[in-house]
Amino acid sequence: MANVVVVGSQWGDEGKGKIVDWLSEQADIVVRFQGGHNAGHTLVIDGKVYKLSLLPSGVVRGGKLSVIGNGVVIDPQALLDEIATLQKQGVSVTRDTLRIAENAILILPLHRELEAIREASSSRIGTTKRGIGPAYEDKVGRRAIRFMDLADLPALPAKIERLLAHHNALRRGHQLDEIAVATVYDYLAGVAPKVLPYMDTVWSLLDARRREGKRILFEGAQGALLDIDHGTYPYVTSSNTVAAQAATGSGLGPNAIDYVLGITKAYTTRVGEGPFPTDQMHNDIGKLLGERGREFGTVTGRARRCGWFDAVLVRQTVRTSGIDGIALTKLDILDGLDDIKVCVGYRLDGREIDYLPAGEQAQARVEPVYETIAGWKAPTAGARSWAQLPAEAVKYVRRIEEMIGCPVTLLSTSPERDDTILMKNPFEI
């Protein structure tokens, strides 16, 4: 039995929802290990559509334990709202099905307000304005309110004072009214009894279940190119999104990870600001990919920028995340194209390179070097075996494998969960 980490190998939005749902059916425990409610998964189960932002995908499947790890930042009200939405859809969320790490960081209304102010400035990053970044800043600054603090209300005012010493100074700089300790305390005291039943010592719980032989699925948000260290900085999220964070963000050691599955779209998309070497947003190809792929964010509804597959970037994330196999999604969106371009290198200041440089200005200057591959006219949509794929589509997949240095172990040919071609089950390595 293997424990599997699922990560996005591009800028997120690779179609993780379907793959994670397919894997969660085989898992005993599903762990969310980073990010917040700034990313989403759309799951379709028995015709019902579930949109999740914070809760792990396993929560909609009976008999699974879902865990929110210490690497996640949690907005208590957003958590309660998401639970309420699921309950209206007939999904029961109880302590038997959901546990939350006691040392997870809380997102407060003041975090959302601060991020909105920053995004209104000329130095905007393109965030969801949900307070994720400021909450992570407070975590690193050692002034954050943690989930466990809700269980000790008498000690909470002193911790809020420590937090507000920083935030009220920022607010004065933005000509905003200061926040009183009582305001934050009353909010937290109000949500505490509603969320505390889910609290647990998650690292210990997961260690015990792992020793019992339970299958654990680690589920990340966003994609590896949005990693705070290894992504297109500063146009990144505020957490580590690479596979190694599954260990840090859950409290299990790295030896708990047996297989890393990278979810990869057959073309490339990006939401928000930042470099995107193969961006075709302003031409017919970009518009066609966006329309066919319904490229709009699950959480924000924002249109995604679309472009050709970038083998340089995916090869890089295969290495930084230690990806063992790729789940290639949305191959069907390329059906009917005469030619398909794939980025195989970059040109930077007159020389060719085979990686994305770390510098912001250099990233903005790189020009893609393309290889053209013949398209296919017969449909791939709905294919469930290699034999059902056009020969040119098979050649495209095989060429991608060569260029990124990693095998395709799953191939998705439509949003339907059964329209999947499986070469290797990550849980059965």
Residues carrying an active site annotation: 13, 41
Q: Which residues contact 289 (CB under 8 A, 6 or more apart)?
A: 267, 269, 280, 295, 306, 307, 333
Q: At 306, phi and psi to the nearest 5?
A: -125, 145
First vs last C-alpha separation in the chain: 7
Contact 274, 232 (CB under 8 A): yes
Residue type, 398: R
Q: Which residues contact 329 (CB under 8 A, 6 or more apart)?
A: 14, 15, 18, 19, 263, 264, 265, 266, 412
| C-alpha span between 209 and 99 (Å, rounded) | 13
Burial class (CB in 10 A: 0-12, 13-18, 19+), 99: buried
| C-alpha span between 22 and 213 (Å, rounded) | 20
Contact 381, 292 (CB under 8 A): no
Residue 404 has a CB neighbour count (10 Å cut-off) of: 25
Angle at 244 between CA 408 and CA 262, to 5 degrees: 15
| C-alpha span between 28 and 213 (Å, rounded) | 10
Q: Three-class SS of residue 32?
A: strand
Distances (CA, A) of 190 to 67, 76, 183, 186: 23, 10, 11, 6
Q: Of 360, 407, 410, which Cα lies nearest the Cα of 14?
A: 410
Q: Which helix (H) or strand (E) holds 351?
A: strand 351-353
Tokens of 34: 């980073």
